[in-house]
Amino acid sequence: MKQLNSLYSYPSNLKASAIGLLLWTLAFIGGFSEVKAQESNTETPNFIIIFTDDQGYGDLGVYGHPTIKTPNLDRMAFEGQKWTNFYVAANVCTPSRAGLLTGRLPIRSGMCSDKRRVLFPDSDGGLPQSEITIAEALKEEGYTTAAIGKWHLGHLPQYLPTNQGFDSYYGIPYSNDMDLVSDLGYMEFWQQSVDSITTDNFNVPLMRDTTIIERPADQTTITKRYTQEAVKFISENKEKPFFLYLAHSLPHIPLFVSDDFKGTSDRGLYGDVIEEIDWSMGEIMKALKEEGVDQNTLVVFTSDNGPWLIFGEHGGSAGLLHGGKGTSYEGGVREPAIFWWPGTIEPAVISKIGSTLDLLPTLTGLAGGQLPDDREYDGYDLSAVLKGQDVTPREDMIYYHGTNIFAARKGDYKLYFYANNPLGYPANLEKLEKYKLINLAIDPSEKEDIIDEHPEIVKEIEAMVAAHKQTVEPVESQLEKVIGQTEAAGNQ
């Protein structure tokens, strides 16, 4: 390494022939190839994104939950960065996942709709092939890629992970509450005693690559089995750069845990589920250390949208934030986000704005790749912030609800154009006759409308939204395509 570094620091007027001779000599004695091999092992990081489902901002110990115990995630936050203003691209599953994997707001890929807010088992659409996923971007840089867990970007063969840049897939391809087996309607079903619900009530498939290997999937062991798959993938791919996308099916309702965690938390079944996910995180961190790749792996932990509040104690908590899943109030779209990469990430609490939209540009940049210039991106490369610099490329956030811009944030200020039920359901939007302005830095629970005090900020945000709209081109909605045009079963 030293030899090459000193070579690169030679004056630029050194004759090319002299450099060529030196490199040839090094290659001849075998030193060059050895040095390059060391460089690629240490300088091309592995990436793991862990994405939970419907977990709230307030559901981890390190984010303030008083009874759910998450020692592994807490440690990860203390050793890495805990972000406190980190947003998803949408307030429900499918569009949120499309945003994370493409770095583009779902309005650009057709992965949002006002009629069908997510994909269902009767959906005929999915993430278009023209979109470039993180996995596809990293394949360009020589990465081995795996998706484990919930997909929810199209379950038909052409939309599955193995056709979207992932070398392998193991998981349930949509929400774990779909394919309901009951004479009751979806909401009626949930009125019955939750104690009588079993995994047989949800005929969801478990897939390996493009093949169904179990149906209904036994959800009581799903977190454990996703974890085993993840640990095996790390062990098998430790010698080369890898990207693992682990999207837990839980804590989306129906809640299931393994026997090891049943009844063990102080927060009922929901707490048991989160504590099993925390155990899973610990197993992955342990595997990274044991395989000797922890110093060379960036791990990101976050969730796809806020807690599903209508399910009471089976839903999570947004902590001090207002609203939940199905809303673009802070509780619906601001998520816990922990970045861990020992030796590289500067440990800190980060209150700068970040988003899952930023993961594709950040990871692609860290891998040495470049974004294509043939499309609009809504994400930014956050690597400078991760490495401890007091700068940020992201000053704003646009909050969509389906195809409508519900609100927009610039700096500390969030301007609302719409209102809806803070519980998220029914989700009917109401266009505000008079917009609302909130200062999120001093009012994170969104209690005080200060619009009359800041007309200049309102104008600034309106101009920002108008400029954003200029960049959006209409595309076909993927979520409104239905096989045989039948009505959907299940819910979001």
Could you tell me the smallest distance in angstroms from the CB atom of residue 330 to Mg ion? 16
93 belongs to the binding site for Mg ion (CB under 5 A): yes
Q: Compare residues 176 and 362 and give the one whose CB is closer to Mg ion.
A: 176
Burial class (CB in 10 A: 0-12, 13-18, 19+), 209: middle
246 belongs to the binding site for Mg ion (CB under 5 A): no
Measured from the Cβ of residue 140, the count of other Cβ atoms closer than 10 Å reads 15
The token pair that represents 209 in the structure block? 């690559």
Which residue's Cβ lies closest to Mg ion? Answer: 93
Residue 93 annotated to the active site = yes
* Residue found under tokens 């009588």: 196
Q: Compare residues 241 and 254 and give the one whose CB is closer to Mg ion.
A: 254
H or E stretch covering 461: helix 455-470
Question: Sign of the C-alpha dihedral, residues 6, 10, 16, 18?
Answer: negative
x-or-dash pattern for Mg ion, window 310-349, by CB under 5 A?
Answer: ----------------------------------------
Q: Compare residues 305 and 478 and give the one whose CB is closer to Mg ion.
A: 305
Q: Compare residues 91 and 164 and give the one whose CB is closer to Mg ion.
A: 91
Percent helix, strand and coil across the chain, each rounded to 5?
35, 20, 45
Sole window of 51-59, 157-165, 351-359, 472-480 interacting with Mg ion (rule: CB under 5 A):
51-59
B/e letters for 269-295, b = 16+ CB within 10 Å, e = fewer, are bbbbbbbbbbbbbbbbbebbeebebbe
Could you tell me the smallest distance in angstroms from the CB atom of residue 97 to Mg ion? 8
Could you tell me the smallest distance in angstroms from the CB atom of residue 333 to Mg ion? 11
Sole window of 12-20, 46-54, 72-80, 142-150 interacting with Mg ion (rule: CB under 5 A):
46-54
The token pair that represents 52 in the structure block? 């939970």
x-or-dash pattern for Mg ion, window 258-297, by CB under 5 A?
Answer: ----------------------------------------
Could you tell me the smallest distance in angstroms from the CB atom of residue 55 to Mg ion? 8
The token pair that represents 83 in the structure block? 């972000």
Contacting Mg ion within 431-460 (CB under 5 A): none
Q: What are phi and psi of 348, to 5 degrees?
A: -175, 165
Instruction: Choose which of 109, 296, 302, 305 interacts with Mg ion (CB under 5 A).
Output: 305
Could you tell me the smallest distance in angstroms from the CB atom of residue 217 to Mg ion? 17
Closest by alpha carbon to 89, among 70, 102, 73?
102
Q: Compare residues 52 and 237 and give the one whose CB is closer to Mg ion.
A: 52
Q: Compare residues 91 and 145 and give the one whose CB is closer to Mg ion.
A: 91
Q: Compare residues 52 and 81 and give the one whose CB is closer to Mg ion.
A: 52
Q: What are phi and psi of 408, to 5 degrees?
A: -150, 145
Question: How many Å separate Cα 371 from the centre of its chain?
Answer: 19
Catalytic option among 65, 112, 152, 401: 152
Burial class (CB in 10 A: 0-12, 13-18, 19+), 263: exposed
131 belongs to the binding site for Mg ion (CB under 5 A): no
Instruction: Choose which of 229, 304, 330, 446 interacts with Mg ion (CB under 5 A).
Output: 304
Q: Compare residues 133 and 305 and give the one whose CB is closer to Mg ion.
A: 305
Could you tell me the smallest distance in angstroms from the CB atom of residue 306 to Mg ion? 9
Could you tell me the smallest distance in angstroms from the CB atom of residue 381 to Mg ion? 26
Could you tell me the smallest distance in angstroms from the CB atom of residue 92 to Mg ion? 6
How far apart CA 437 and CA 92 sit, in angstroms, is 24
Closest by alpha carbon to 305, among 296, 294, 316, 313?
316
Sole window of 45-53, 141-149, 262-270, 344-352 interacting with Mg ion (rule: CB under 5 A):
45-53
Number of residues that bind Mg ion (CB under 5 A): 5
Sole window of 24-32, 88-96, 115-123, 398-406 interacting with Mg ion (rule: CB under 5 A):
88-96
Q: Compare residues 54 and 276 and give the one whose CB is closer to Mg ion.
A: 54
Closest by alpha carbon to 153, among 110, 115, 114?
110
Could you tell me the smallest distance in angstroms from the CB atom of residue 433 to Mg ion? 31
53 belongs to the binding site for Mg ion (CB under 5 A): yes
Measured from the Cβ of residue 474, the count of other Cβ atoms closer than 10 Å reads 9
Instruction: Choose which of 49, 54, 95, 383 interacts with Mg ion (CB under 5 A).
Output: 54
Catalytic option among 93, 314, 322, 401: 93
Q: Compare residues 136 and 304 and give the one whose CB is closer to Mg ion.
A: 304
How far apart CA 171 and CA 252 sit, in angstroms, is 15
B/e letters for 155-170, b = 16+ CB within 10 Å, e = fewer, are bbeebbbbbbbbbebb
Sole window of 2-10, 93-101, 164-172, 184-192 interacting with Mg ion (rule: CB under 5 A):
93-101
Alpha helices in 67-177 (DSSP H): 71-79, 93-102, 106-109, 134-139
Could you tell me the smallest distance in angstroms from the CB atom of residue 93 to Mg ion? 4
Edge to edge, the sheet with strand 144-149 lists 211-214, 206-208, 168-171, 144-149, 242-247, 46-52, 297-303, 334-340, 81-87, 348-355
How far apart CA 119 and CA 425 sit, in angstroms, is 17
298 belongs to the binding site for Mg ion (CB under 5 A): no
How far apart CA 382 and CA 357 sit, in angstroms, is 10
Q: Site residues (CB under 5 A) for Mg ion?
A: 53-54, 93, 304-305
Active site residues: 93, 152
